Chains A and B, each alone.
Chain A
Amino acid sequence: MEGVWTLLSFGPEGWGDNIAKGVLLTVTLALATLPLGLAIGFFVALGKRSNDKALRLAANIYTTIFRGLPELLTLFLVFYGAQIGLQKLVHLFNPDANIEINAFVAGMVALGAVFSSYASEVFLAAFRAIPDGQYEGGHAIGLSNGQTMRLVILPQLIRLALPGLSNLWLILLKDTALVSVIGLTDILRQTGIAARVTKEAFLFYGIACLLYLVLAMLSSIALGAIERRTKRHGVQR
C-alpha cells in the first residue's frame, strides 16, 4: 500500500504532478472547445430554421457529416488533413515552408465540430419550444429582428437548451480522451505513460477513470447550480 502512495505522490518519484498536468490539459481543452462549439452550433441551428432552402441544406450537410463520422476519424481527418492541405497551400507561395498543426488546435477544431453538430440539434429543439407569439410580441413593441432575438428569444432559449447542453458538455469531457492519440498529454496519456513505466496499469488506468468521474461530478454540481439560477425568473411552462 505504501508503494501506491509513493507512486501517486507529487515529486520526482511520484506521478501525481504529471497526472495533475494531464487533468489541467483535459479541462483546458474542454473549456476552450466549449465556446467554439456553442457559437458554431447556434449559427448552424439558425441556418436550419431559416426560410431559405440553400441555407437549410448547407446547415444540414454540416450536421450529417460531423454526427455521422466517428470522433476519432474526425480528429485524424483534421489533424492529418489540415496538415496536408495547409502544406500544399503554403507550398504554392513558398516551397520550403514547413507547416506543423498544433495538436491542441486540431483537437479543439475536431471536438468543436462534433460538439457543434449535436448542439445545433439541441438549439433547434429549444427554438421550436418558443411560441411564435414571442416573436410577434417583440415586433409589436417595435423591436427589430436582431433585438427580438437578443432580448426576447435568447434568454428563453438558453433556459430551454441548458439540460441538453449540459449533457453535451459531459460527452465533450469524455471525448477529450481521444486527443491522447494525437500526442496531447491529457489525463489518459499521462496515466498511460505512468502505467507503462511502473507496470501498474490497473492502478493508473483506474485512477484515470476516477478522475473523469470526479470531473463529471463536479460538472454536474456546477451545471445544476446554473440551471437553478436560470430557472429563478422563468415562467413555468
Chain B
Amino acid sequence: MANEPVPKNPVLQDKATIKEAIVRHKKEVYTPVVPAQQFGFIHNNVDCIGCRACEIACKDKNGLAPGPRFRRVMYVEGGTYPAVYAYKVNMSCNHCAEPACLPTCPTGAIYKRKKDGIVDIDSSLCIGCRRCEAACPYGAPQFIPEQNIVSKCNMCVDEIDAGRKPYCVMACMMRVLDIGPIDKLREATYPTKAMAPHEKDKLVRQVKSMADPELTNPSIVFIAHSNGRVDEPKEPK
C-alpha cells in the first residue's frame, strides 16, 4: 500500500480484555432493549460501485449540510500493481443489539425501539456532549455544529412506519444495499437483491478494518470480498 501501516495497539488486540471491560460496563449501567424484531442492513461489498447515491439521498432526507455524514461508503483497496483488488464497505448506524452509544447518554436522549430495534436520538433531549460519538465503534453518531447536537441514521423511521424502505436503500442503483429482519438476513433466508443466490457462503458479520461485532452485536451483514474476510487467511488475488 501507499502509506506506512499504523502500528496496532496491543491492548485493543486482546479480545479477552475487551470482553471483560464490556461485561463490567454493561452490568453497571444498562440492560439492552430486546426488540420484537430487529431490523438491519445488508451490503454487497463487491458489487457496490461506490457511487454514493445512498449518501446523497440520506443527506437530502435528513437535511444535512456538508460535514456530518450519516451514511459512509468507505473505499478499500490493496494488492500490488498489477495484481490489485478493491471493494467498498458501506455503513451508517448498525442499530446494534447492545448499542454502545445508548448507555453513555447523560440525558436519556438515545433510545432503542421495542418494535424493530431501531436506535434513535431524541434531538430535543440531546445536549451535544458528544459522548456517544466517542463510544460508537463504527463512527455512526455525527455532530451537527449548526445545531450543537449529535444526530445519526434512524433507518428513516417514518418510512419504516409507512411500510417503505429507507432513502439510502431506495437510492441504490446497483441494488446492493437493503434492509430486512437481521436474523433472516444472517441465515440468508430473507429475499433480497443485495445478494445473489450463489453468494450465501460470502455472507459475513464482520469485514477487515471493522470493529469486532462482539462489542455491540451490530445489525448488519456483508457480502464480503475474498480479501475483506476476517475469518480466512488473506489470499493474494
Is B a genuine binding partner of A?
no
Chain A contact residues, CB within 8 Å of chain B: none
Chain B contact residues, CB within 8 Å of chain A: none
